[in-house]
Each structure stands twice: as C-alpha cells, then as structure tokens.
Homo-oligomer: A and B are copies of this chain.
Amino acid sequence: MAVKPSSERSKQPRRKKAPLQSKHELRSDAPLSLDRIVATAVELLDAEGIEGLTMRRLAARLEAGAMSLYWHVGNKEEVFDLALDQVLEYRRPLQNSAPEDWRKELVHMLEDWRASMLRHPWSASLLPRRALGPNILGRLELLSETLSRAGVADEDLNVAIWSLWNFVIGATITRANFDRSDEDRAAAQQRLTHLAESYPTIGRSRLLLDSDWDGTFRKGLDVLLDGLSTR
C-alpha cells in the first residue's frame, strides 16, 4: 500500500544519483518534487494570473502527468497555500543594528512585505482565503518581537501588531487591485470624469487617479507608528 506524504514536511526522495537516463528514456530532467512544483506554480501565477493556474497546465510545465502532482500535494488549494507562503519569505538584515533602530527595522520589514506582494500581484487576492504558512507566521513573530523589544507593553502588543498587519494587508490589496483595473486607463479616466458629478470630493482630490501609492503607504505607516509609540 502506498502512503502519500502530502503534508508531512522533511521528505526528500532518494533516487538514482548520477545515472541520468535509464535505458534510452532521457526523460528531460525532472524528478518532480514539492519544491519544483511550488516554484513552477509561482512562475505560472506570475505569468498567467490566478485563473491561469490549473493542475493540467501546471503539470504540463513540469512535463508531468496531471495526476502525478497529487502524490506531492493534497489538492489545488494546497498549491495556492504553498505558493503564497513561498513568495512571502523574509530574511532579516544582519543583526548589527543598534537596539534603538527598531523603527527602522519595522519599516524595512513592512515595506519589503508590501513589495514582495506587489511583485506577485496574485498574492494579494490570495491572502484573504489562505492559511498562515510558516513565512507569514515568521513575519508576525518578527513583528511581535521587535515591538516587544521596543518597549510596547504586553497588553498593547496585540493592538499594535494587528494595526500594522491590517494596514499592510489593506494597502497591498488595494494597490494590487488598482494596478490591474487600470490596465485600460482610458476607460478608467472616462468613468472617473463621469463620476465626478456624483462623487465631488473624490474627484477633487484625484484620489483614484494619481495617488502616490508608495509615498502614501510610507506616510500612513508613520502615522501609525507615531500613534503607537506615544501610547
């Protein structure tokens, strides 16, 4: 009886090491592993977006049969979970910074977070429905730790963490969303001028048109951090 690994980590197949072809079947190059599957899924998502990822297409890119994937992965949802978490890996910069640099560290991590997700716009729309992978948890842990080290009292910690997390998530999702829907700037522009009558303040502030997303993110973050550190 065969038992699938599926979600037990730490399990690499030990196959033939050197012998690259058996008989005459020079099966391109592929041993087909979880890592390869996830990496290819990210590629495919980058290239074709969320609807572009189907098990058959993914398998084709791996030069494998569609059902072969199911040995390594429980179902399609799991592929999404893994792809999302993979994209959110974070290596903290080397620890030579002074302990009062906590704010710089935080901003660095949070801006990197946002940047990572914007580099893979599908990740933003995926986030709401996915489980917390190790990389996401790692970022949360780093966040808690840094805030705690910065002197935030334990009873205020959760508010601080969630406020920052919420802000990053919201900003990223919004931004990623606007990027795509403005593929057709022309249509958007026209829609906006038509809307200016019903929504005058939005129209005046040009909120939807030429927001400086990066600057807005940075400033909003400052507002939050100011508020948190004076508490």
Contact = CB atoms under 8 A, between A and B. Distances in A.
Interface of A: 124-125, 127-132, 134, 137-138, 140-141, 144-145, 148, 154, 157-159, 161-163, 165-171, 173-174, 176-177, 181, 195, 198-202, 204-205, 207-208, 211-212, 216, 219-220, 223-224, 226-228, 231
8 contacts: A127-B128, A137-B199, A141-B198, A163-B216, A166-B166, A170-B170, A223-B224, A223-B231
A125 B129 CA distance: 6
Given A128-B177, A148-B201, A169-B170, A162 B211 contact: yes
Contacts of A138: 199
Contact of A141 (B148, B201, B219): B201
Contact of A169 (B173, B219, B228): B173
Contact of A205 (B129, B157, B174, B228): B157
B165 A170 contact: yes
A157 B207 CA distance: 9
Contact of A219 (B159, B167, B202, B205): B159
A74 to B, nearest CB: 15
A199 B140 contact: yes
Nearest to A130: B177
B220 A163 contact: yes
Contact of A224 (B132, B141, B148, B227): B227
B167 A166 contact: yes
Contacts of A201: 141, 144-145, 148
Nearest to A180: B129
Contacts of A170: 165-171, 173
Contacts of A219: 159
A137 B195 contact: yes
Given A124-B128, A129-B125, A227-B223, A144 B202 contact: yes
Top 9 A-B pairs, shortest CB-CB distance: A166-B170, A170-B170, A169-B170, A163-B220, A227-B227, A223-B227, A144-B201, A125-B128, A141-B199
Given A170-B169, A223-B163, A223-B224, A216 B158 contact: yes
